[in-house]
Amino acid sequence: MPESRSLPAPRRPRYWAGACRELAARDERLATLMALHRDAVLVQRSGAFATLARAIVSQQISTRAAEAIWMRLAQALGEVAPARVLAIAPHKLRAQGLTVRKAEYLHDLAGHFADGRLDPKRWRRSADAALIAQLTAVRGIGRWTAEMFLIFHLNRPDVWPVDDMGLQKAVARHYLDGRLPNAKELSAWGERYAPWRTVATWYLWRSLDPDVVQY
């Protein structure tokens, strides 16, 4: 029998350890959260198109329902890729469990990749704000989805998603005696963690839910 090989352990982004040291020195409470959840790992999810497509599929439905639809979609397409999505009739996408609107969103996303309006090769040099503007030009992708993409796929270090309910709840719990901040307050609060706001967000999320969810 061939020798079984274990998969390599997921790696944090290169900046992670240094960012944690810097943030821990600034914020004692955040340092405690980091120590409690030191084994939670942020890793890159492969496949830019598939990551965004999956985010569209998952909108406003349960995790279980989204996973079932995604599996049917992947089986129908063979591979969730722009050319495959563009080649299939919309009614066949809907037959996998997608709504009419989500089928349209997937076609629009595929078109952006196919004609180069979205080109992952150019993203390495693009600023976060420019990337968010490109992504939100796609039907069905709002700012929150774009920010999740920057965190989970691109591992950008300084994303602070003020519209994220989990982040709002965590800041309220640990710093504001349970009072939810509005977007302006939360944006100002996040300045203390720059340029490592993604790292702070990650551990604030973990303080509410230690299980890692990859978008």
Q: What number of other Cβ atoms are within 10 A of residue 123's Cβ? A: 17
Examine the pLDDT at 178 and tell me if it is beyond 90.
yes
Predicted TM-score (pTM) of the model is 0.84
Residues 122 and 174 in one domain: no
Domain boundary (152, 173, 197) is at 152
Residues 90 and 136 in one domain: yes
Assigned domain for 5 exists:
no
E strands in 4-118: none
- Give the chain's domain count: 2
pLDDT band at 7 (very low <50, low <70, confident <90, very high): very low
Examine the pLDDT at 160 and tell me if it is beyond 80.
yes
Assigned domain for 6 exists:
no
Q: Which CATH number covers residue 137?
A: 1.10.340.30
Q: Which CATH number covers residue 193?
A: 1.10.1670.40
Please give the average per-residue pLDDT across 89-98, as a whole number: 91
At residue 43, the pLDDT reads: 80
Q: Considering only CA atoms, which of 198, 202, 197, 201 is closest in space to residue 212?
A: 202
At residue 49, the pLDDT reads: 94
Do the beta carbons of residue 144 and residue 163 sit within 8 Å?
yes
pLDDT band at 10 (very low <50, low <70, confident <90, very high): low
Residues 53 and 141 in one domain: yes
What residue numbers bound the domain in which 24 lies?
16-38+158-208
Assigned domain for 43 exists:
no
Assigned domain for 117 exists:
yes
Calculate the dihedral angle through the C-alpha atoms of 95, 98, 99, 105, rounding to the nearest 10 degrees: -120
